[in-house]
Structure 1
Amino acid sequence: MSTHTQLIDQYFDAWNETDAPRRRALIAATWTDDCAYVDPLLAGNGHDGIDAMIRAVHERFPGHTFRRASDVDGFANNVRFSWCLETPDGTPIVKGSDFGVVEAGGRLSTVTGFLDQVPGAA
């Protein structure tokens, strides 16, 4: 397993963690202090912003989980991967692709997300 794959799997661990102290520890291990995330629906800056964003997703979609849906592809400090948000019974309801930049220390500095499939979209 590549270092980038391990990092992105840890990224999903943070997204799926409902225990606030454990989630904060995962965020700190995964993201740089001055990190930024943006997609068409969400944005977060710094560890506090990332934590607030993930907490809001858990509040809106209780019991749902994110799963990596592709291999992690990348070169140099760039990564890309696809994912899905699944209901508690494992049904994917949202699919997307993320592009990230990994800083020299091995943590994510930015992630830009794209929504590939959302409910009700044609």
Structure 2
Amino acid sequence: MNANTDLIDRYFDAWNETDAARRRELIAATWTVDADYRDPLLSGAGRDGIDAMIRAVHERFPNHTFRRTTEVDGFANRLRFSWELSTPEGTAIVKGSDFGMVDANGRLQAVTGFLDQVPGAA
């Protein structure tokens, strides 16, 4: 695996972590202090904002998990990858693609998410 794949796998580890202290450790290891996340439904600014956003997803979708579904592609400080959110039974209910920017220290500076498949969408 390369550094970008490791970074994005840690990104998903943070999304899936239910222990608050461990999740904050993962966020600190993955995101810059002034990080920014945006998608059509969620946003989080800074590490605290990202933690609050992830916590809200856990409250809305208990025991659901995110996983990367593509290789991590990138050039310079830009990345892209796709993912899915699955029920506890393993059924994917949301699929998306994210685009990220990495800082000089190898942490995520910004992620913009796009929802490729959502429940009820045609």
When the two structures are aligned, how many residues end up with a matched partner?
122
User: Percent identity between the aligned chains?
Assistant: 76
- 1:38 corresponds to: 38
Partners of 1:102 and 1:90 lie apart in 2 by 30
Partner of 2:88: 88
Length-normalised TM-score, structure 1: 1.00
Aligned match of 1:10: 10
What are the ranges of 5 or more consecutive residues in structure 2 without an aligned counterpart? none
Q: Which residue of 2 aligns with 1:65?
A: 65
2:36 aligned counterpart, secondary structure: strand
Q: Tell me the secondary structure at the aligned position of residue 56 of structure 2.
A: helix
State the distance in 2 between where 1:94 and 1:69 align: 12
1:70 counterpart letter in structure 2: T
Q: What is the rounded CA distance, in whole Å, between the counterparts of 2:29 and 2:35 in structure 1?
A: 12
Moved over 4 A (4+): none
For 1:91 and 1:59, the matched residues in 2 are separated by 18
Give 5+ residue unaligned stretches, structure 1.
Answer: none
Q: CA RMSD in A?
A: 0.3
Rounded Cα–Cα distance in structure 2 between residues aligned with 1:71 and 1:86: 18
Q: Secondary structure at the match of 1:106?
A: coil
Q: TM-score, normalised by structure 2?
A: 1.00
Matched, 1:20 2:20: yes
